[in-house]
């Protein structure tokens, strides 16, 4: 399992130090919020570019944006590995296609109430499927649901259709709730991780786990 720390919970006054504290993670998660698709605003391409300049770790960029299509190219940095858009957003299909055309792995995100079968046309194109266990827009929320059924459904669909997308889970992940998402490939961890002193140990313990 890969841990993708969400820097939304980091101390931005000490961003370089915060990034060093998680330098053993295999991904860095960036939550981009527009105040429209979700009721909060986080940061945009400028801060994301700064993060990219401070770490060599691959970036896992989650666009919580009403219309992500015009923004895709502004989040492509040398270390961008994934760009994920919401299946519920405008132009989601064209956004996925553009991401892939640019040589970046494309992700599709499903809100807690979004059904897998309603997004199959997008999932079929995706390199990553992000399962939200909270309503997107704020860090530090508790689980709204147990995502294990949705994860299992995605695993079955992936196998039956010989697809290769990875399954990522985001929202309320801590040392207890992570047990409920043991079959995921990637977990996003924010407020819990950044509240700990020994972050690298937590990341190592997660990344030692095998599926």
Please state, as a whole number, how many other Cβ atoms lie within 10 Å of the Cβ of residue 19.
18
Strand order from edge to edge, sheet including 128-132 = 2-5, 186-189, 166-170, 128-132, 105-110, 80-86, 59-64, 28-33
Domains of the chain, residue spans: 2-208
> Are 61 and 43 in contact, with CB atoms under 8 Å apart?
no
Angle, CA of 111, 80 and 92, to the nearest 5°: 35
Catalytic residue numbers read: 31, 170
* Token couple for 44: 């945009």
Q: Tens digit of pLDDT per residue, the chain (211 long)?
A: 999 999 999 999 999 999 999 999 999 999 999 887 877 888 999 999 999 999 999 999 999 999 999 999 999 999 999 999 999 899 999 999 999 999 999 999 998 889 999 999 999 999 999 999 877 545 555 555 667 889 999 999 999 999 999 999 998 899 888 988 989 999 999 999 999 999 999 999 998 754 4
Which pLDDT score, from 0 to 100, does residue 211 have?
43
Mean pLDDT estimate for the chain: 91
Q: How far apart are CA 170 and CA 96, in angstroms?
A: 20
* Conformation bin of residue 113: beta by default, left when phi > 0, alpha when psi is -120 to 50: alpha
> Are 108 and 119 in contact, with CB atoms under 8 Å apart?
yes
With CA atoms as reference, report the closest residue to 17 among 7, 26, 2, 31: 7
With CA atoms as reference, report the closest residue to 76 among 94, 54, 109, 103: 103
Q: How far apart are CA 172 and CA 145, in angstroms?
A: 10
Please write the tens of the pLDDT for every residue from 95-135.
Answer: 999 999 999 999 999 988 899 999 999 999 999 999 998 77
Which pLDDT score, from 0 to 100, does residue 113 have?
86
* Token couple for 173: 């992940």
CATH 3.20.20.70 correct for 2-208 = yes
């Amino acid at each position: 399992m890969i841990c993708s720390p969400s820097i939304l919970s980091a101390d931005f006054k000490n961003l370089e130090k915060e990034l060093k504290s998680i330098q053993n993670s295999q991904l860095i998660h960036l939550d981009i919020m527009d105040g429209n698709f979700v009721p909060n605003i986080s940061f945009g391409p400028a801060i994301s570019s700064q993060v990219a300049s401070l770490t060599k770790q691959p970036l896992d960029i989650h666009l919580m944006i009403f219309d992500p299509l015009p923004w895709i190219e502004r989040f492509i940095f040398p270390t961008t590995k994934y760009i994920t858009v919401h299946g519920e957003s405008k132009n989601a299909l064209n956004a996925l296609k553009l991401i892939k055309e640019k040589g970046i792995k494309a992700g599709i995100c499903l809100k807690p109430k979004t059904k897998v079968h309603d997004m199959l046309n997008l999932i079929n194109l995706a390199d990553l499927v992000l399962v939200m266990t909270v309503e997107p827009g704020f860090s530090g929320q508790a689980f709204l649901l147990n995502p294990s059924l949705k994860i299992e459904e995605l695993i079955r669909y992936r196998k039956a259709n010989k697809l290769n997308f990875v399954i990522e889970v985001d929202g309320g992940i801590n040392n207890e709730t992570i047990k409920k998402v043991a079959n995921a490939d990637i977990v996003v961890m924010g407020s819990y991780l950044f509240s700990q002193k020994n972050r690298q140990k937590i990341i190592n313990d997660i990344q030692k786990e095998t599926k």
